[in-house]
Amino acid sequence: MLIRQTILYLPAQFLSPVAQFLSMMIWTWWLSPAEMSTFVLVTSTQELAYMVSRSWFSFYTLRFLPPAEDAAGRHRYLQTETTLIGLLTLPELAAAALSIHFFDGRGDPMLVFLTIAAYYVTRGLNNHYGERARAQDRIFAYTLLLTAGPVGGLVAGIASTEMFGASAGELLLAYAAMQALGTVIALPMIGASLRTARLDLAILKDAILNGGPMLVVNGIGWFGENGIRYVVDHIGGATAFGLMAVGWGLGRRSASVASMLVAVAAFPIAARLINAGDREAALEQLKMNAALLTAVLLPSVVGLWLVSGILVDLAVAETYREVTGSILGLAAFGGMVRAYHAHATGQMLTLDRRYGLLVAIGLFEIVATTGLAIVGFHLGYLVGVVVGALVASGLTLALSATVAIRLCGFRFPAADTARIAFATLVMGLAVHAVSWPHTALGLVGAVLTGGLFYVAALAAVYYRHLPPLIGRLTEKPPRIPS
């Protein structure tokens, strides 16, 4: 079931973060560290703007969208959604006004505001309608909405840079244009009401009660992941953060690429099982998700660490190369640890609605990450910052796992983790044994060698378990009442 759903969601979950991964390297050849800092801080702040404005309603939509058979309920939802979409644009506009200072006085303030606002609003619409498409199992619409910005924006940004020159503002406009186009094309596929109406108070109440706590949880989680960017910008300046942003972004994005391949398909399945009252099946689903998450994350991060020297020499501009090479692997390992908390143990707490615990763990992560990053900056400059964040993520995962296992019955896949770790070790030894040239062929050779040895080792340790495992993972999901 999970493999089948993962394959259906694969294009969106692969293309979007891969495009973001590539863009971090591509923009190093055009943007100065100060412009890179501006671009990264604006795009990061958009995620917070979306959380504050729309994420609570998007979460409600994903969990409780009325099924198509409930025509009256779906109609009430769509009219309420249309009204809220307009109202919830206001916080995004306020966030855009507050984000003008990231440009450090470059450009006309009104033009800068309109540029940032266009990016924030269009990206927010993509995010919300993407969650509704996922709730409706409209895979193509979901794929279009998730890739319009990262993939379309990357292509449009390259074209814009060639025609108008390189700047953070030009890139943001290019991304906003493609995000708007994605919404226009995808919206007819998932349906929408063209009329506004008075808010349905029952829907609004349920959305606030269910999505409100997740707004707090996700907001705290955002600070846990992104707060370090603002800390470095504040204590080290825009240039320091611009230099760090590439290696940090590439490392964290690599973990995101791997983790989201599994997580997006898994959560709706587990949520439906919980909603249907089948807790036993939901716990097994989460255990399987954790195993698959490890099977994708661990070799991806170890592989990136092994080829980071080749990758940086080939793809990153010289200005950013030294810092990127020194922090890329560390950032990737930190991203892997945090992804396991977010998409395995954290999901257990989310499904059990242990929102208070999620908030407490999130606050612990913020304090630990900020404190250890500041200490690391003074002890080891930018490498010290990333080491501090890695240690903080490890402490947060330990706390999250302890709570999820003891209070919610989360089942850690110990045997699967051991097998995956062994296969990853075999992969690592095979890649490390060869002195790969720092060329494109060397990079491809190292990646293919690692991939082949990992798959072969994984098949060897799982050969007795493959037939029943494949059957469980590829079966069609049961029809569960929404």
pLDDT for residue 480 = 41
pTM: 0.79
Query: What would the pLDDT profile of 366-416 be if each residue is shown by its tens digit?
Result: 999 999 999 999 999 999 999 999 999 999 999 999 999 998 888 899 999
Question: Is the pLDDT score of 41 beyond 90?
Answer: yes
Beta carbons within 8 Å of 467's beta carbon, 6+ residues apart: none
Question: Is the pLDDT score of 112 beyond 80?
Answer: yes
Contact 37, 99 (CB under 8 A): no
Question: Is the pLDDT score of 481 beyond 50?
Answer: no
Specify which of 14-28, 220-234, 428-442 reaches the highest per-range mean pLDDT. 428-442
Cα→Cα distances 69→58, 73, 77, 272, 481, Å: 21, 9, 13, 17, 11
Q: What single-letter DSSP state applies at residue 28?
A: G
pLDDT for residue 444 = 94
The percentage of residues in the chain with a pLDDT greater than 90, rounded to a whole number, is 54
Give the number of residues written for the chain. 482
Domain range summary for the chain, segments of one domain joined by +: 6-199
Supply angle C-alpha 223, 269, 127, rounded to 5.
45
Question: Is the pLDDT score of 475 beyond 60?
Answer: no
pLDDT for residue 364 = 94
Rounded to whole angstroms, the Cα distance separating 368 from 294 reads 24
Cα→Cα distances 280→63, 115, 272, Å: 19, 49, 12
Mean pLDDT value across residues 230-246: 91
Position 299 confidence tier, pLDDT thresholds 50, 70, 90: very high
- Report the mean per-residue pLDDT for the chain: 87
Question: Is the pLDDT score of 230 beyond 60?
Answer: yes
Q: How far is CA 134 from the centre of its chain?
A: 15
pLDDT for residue 1 = 54
Half-sphere exposure of 444 (CA within 13 A, CB side): 3
Which residue shows structure tokens 């990646």? 447
Query: What would the pLDDT profile of 406-458 be if each residue is shown by its tens digit?
Result: 988 888 999 999 999 999 999 999 999 999 999 999 999 999 999 999 999 99
Query: What would the pLDDT profile of 253-298 be if each residue is shown by its tens digit?
Result: 888 777 776 665 566 677 777 777 778 888 888 888 888 889 989 9
Contacts 24+ apart (CB under 8 A), 414-419: 416/291, 416/294, 416/295, 417/291, 417/294, 419/458, 419/461, 419/462
Position 155 confidence tier, pLDDT thresholds 50, 70, 90: very high
